[in-house]
Chain A
Amino acid sequence: MRRTKPPSIATWILRHLTLGNLNDALAGDLLEEFRAGRSSRWYWRQVLQAIAIAFVRDVFSHLDVLFFAALWSMLTPAWLLTIANIELRYHLNERCWQMVWPWSTVCDLGLLLAANLIFIWVGIALYLIPHLWIAGGLQFRRFGRGLFASIPVLIALWAALIVLPKFFLGGQLVEQHSVAPVSMFSINHPIPIAIQQVSPQEQWDVRYGEKVIDPYINPRNAIADLRLATMIVRLPFFFSILCTLWGVTSRLGNRSNRIAE
């Protein structure tokens, strides 16, 4: 007896492919061929090939986004240096911890998120404003949606980066706060008593771990730092900007296609 239902997982994957307005036609063609006697193996092969083609095509159509995300994330250590200087001068974290729980934690997490999001949002804004303008007028709602899309991406990547290095990078970095410069937690959660008793230079070392990022004399040195640990620091910023801009520009592309049709 001939099977009429193709592998459901393959169909689900195909449905979520981004071949634009041709996706439905492709799904229909594969189903028609399957019902005409093609095997499940053939169906899977076709779906996987379609995914690979769509992925390569997507990468080539987002080369500018890739380049921009890489360029902007190179500035990350300089931004973290700025944040650390602000913290050392104004002791924002200490002020947070003077509050009553749970406000102290809320304030702490708010600082963490704000410090990272400001950098990411400035980057996204720099890319999106001219692009939205060209794509038919800058609308606040579309721009705002683009910015807020970065929040879940950022949180997910942070969560992964806080957990993953402990498994993949071995003890050396873990001891030195493996994600120390990435996370405001490293600024917010060193050993407070010890820090108050040491010099600013030592504070930096305690907070960041000198093996992770040296105390830079100026931000240019931070930007030029290409060591593994510093590259890991750049990763969440790179992926946050990349994923957000990729999603927003793809939606813009789909919208233009629909209008063209």
Chain B
Amino acid sequence: MTERSYLGEFELMILLTVIHLGDEAYGVPISRELERHRGREVSVGSVYAALERLENKGLVASSLGDPTPERGGKAKRYFRITKSGLGQVHETRQVLSKLWQALPELKGERT
């Protein structure tokens, strides 16, 4: 039986962003999406470090695109979620949904 590791918050956000972007998931759009949703600057290096961890766990797979002049001749690395990655996202959602049900309301919170 393989050992299952839990997804970190940032890793989960990246997986969801990769799913959301589909075929256009590479460093720049992933970082922009994360910035848009989190409302603060994201380090592209940390996005790549997390993607590398996810790739080592087999949750995402990557492939190289063609080099383009606006990127100084550097190729884009596209990421896509694997079957195992999708399974892990679903499982995390189920666990979190159950846990969130027990979340107490904040005092004075307007509904």
Which residues does A use to contact B, with CB under 8 Å? 19-20, 22, 24-33, 35, 42, 45-46, 49-54, 57
Q: Are A22 and B43 interface neighbours, CB within 8 A?
A: no
Partner of A22, one of B67, B68, B71, B77: B77
Closest to B32 in A: A33
- Decide: A29 near B43, CB < 8 A? Known: A19-B48, A22-B52, A24-B75: no
Q: Are B74 and A57 interface neighbours, CB within 8 A?
A: no
Partner of B76, one of A28, A45, A49, A50: A28
Which residues does B use to contact A, with CB under 8 Å? 26-28, 31, 41, 43-46, 48-49, 51-52, 64, 67-68, 70-72, 74-77
Q: How far is the CA of A32 from the CA of B27 in the complex (A)?
A: 10
Q: Are A53 and B75 interface neighbours, CB within 8 A?
A: no
Give the chain B neighbours of A20 by CB distance below 8 A. 52
Pick the most buried of A29, A42, A46: most chain B CB atoms within 10 A of its CB.
Answer: A29
Q: Are A25 and B45 interface neighbours, CB within 8 A?
A: no
Give the chain B neighbours of A30 by CB distance below 8 A. 44
Give the chain B neighbours of A45 by CB distance below 8 A. 41, 43
Give the chain A neighbours of B28 by CB distance below 8 A. 29, 32-33
Closest to B64 in A: A25
Give the chain B neighbours of A49 by CB distance below 8 A. 43, 45-46
Give the chain A neighbours of B43 by CB distance below 8 A. 45-46, 49-50, 53
Q: How far is the CA of A6 from the CA of B77 in the complex (A)?
A: 21
Give the chain A neighbours of B77 by CB distance below 8 A. 22, 25
Q: Are A25 and B49 interface neighbours, CB within 8 A?
A: no
A-B contact pairs, 20 of them (CB 8 A): A19-B45, A19-B48, A19-B52, A22-B52, A24-B75, A25-B48, A25-B75, A26-B27, A28-B71, A28-B74, A28-B76, A30-B44, A32-B28, A35-B70, A46-B43, A49-B43, A49-B46, A53-B45, A53-B46, A57-B49
